[in-house]
Amino acid sequence: MLEDYPKKITLQDGAVLSLRPMSKDDQYPLYRFFVSLPEADRKYLRNDVTDRKLLEKWVRNLNYDKVLPILVETDDRIVANATLNRQTFGWGRHVGEVRITIDADFQRRGLGSLLLDEITNLAAKAQLKKLVARIVTTRPEVIKAFEKAGFSQLTVLKNYVKDVYQQSYADIAILVKDLA
């Protein structure tokens, strides 16, 4: 499934980027990527991605069967992270969850669409039947990016999550894509 990596991709504007799964050496480059994100892009991610202990744990416990993180790099830095999260037992075994974060300089250049296709292909190869994404409703442009990639909004969970500062509640849209 991962034999195609590392691989090059070319954006519509000609920028060439490299894709590969995260490795144990990525803790500090990944930290640099996450702290460089605008607060609005970090505030309602599932975890506080600027927590060094959390990143250390991610790297230490790398298990592609549970969480497959695909990193996108330019020559000198990480510019995006897309993960396919899986439950390896129980009634959700056929479902994968997708999460994507992209450096502000690389948004609106088609990279999000490309990564959603990439994760869709990886999920299909892993015999998954559905992909789910959970997105705060205050980011309609993010929801739009997922809908453009074939996700449909099923429902909204009201006041379901708190921001990383544990200060305010937000509604979460549940988006699902059925895989062939």
Which of 41, 70, 72, 177 is close enough to bind ligand COA by CB under 6 A?
A: 41
135 binds ligand COA (CB under 6 A): yes
Closest by CA to 68, choosing from 8, 128, 113, is 128
Q: DSSP label at 24?
A: G
Helix axes 52-60, 27-36, angle to 10 degrees: 140
Q: Are 85 and 40 in contact (CB under 8 A)?
A: no
99 binds ligand COA (CB under 6 A): yes
Q: In the complex with ligand COA, which residue's Cβ is closer, 60 or 77?
A: 77
- Is residue 71 classed as helix, strand or coil in its secondary structure? strand
43 binds ligand COA (CB under 6 A): no
Which residue stretch of 50-58, 63-71, 107-115, 120-128 sits at the interface with ligand COA (rule: CB under 6 A)?
107-115
Least distance from C-beta 18 to ligand COA, angstroms? Answer: 16
- Edge-to-edge strands of the sheet including 7-10? 7-10, 16-21, 67-73, 78-86, 95-102, 130-136, 169-178, 152-162
Which of 141, 165, 167, 180 is close enough to bind ligand COA by CB under 6 A?
A: 141
Q: In the complex with ligand COA, which residue's Cβ is closer, 100 or 179?
A: 100
Number of residues interacting with ligand COA: please give it, by CB under 6 A: 20
Q: In the complex with ligand COA, which residue's Cβ is closer, 3 or 128?
A: 128
Q: Are 21 and 2 in contact (CB under 8 A)?
A: yes
- 50 by Cβ neighbours in 10 Å (0-12 / 13-18 / 19+) ranks as middle
Least distance from C-beta 17 to ligand COA, angstroms? Answer: 11
- In the region spanning residues 109 to 128, those forming contacts with ligand COA, defined by CB under 6 A, are 109-113
Torsions phi, psi for 23 (to 5 deg): -125, 175
Binding site for ligand COA (CB under 6 A): 41, 99-102, 107-113, 133, 135, 139, 141-142, 144-145, 148
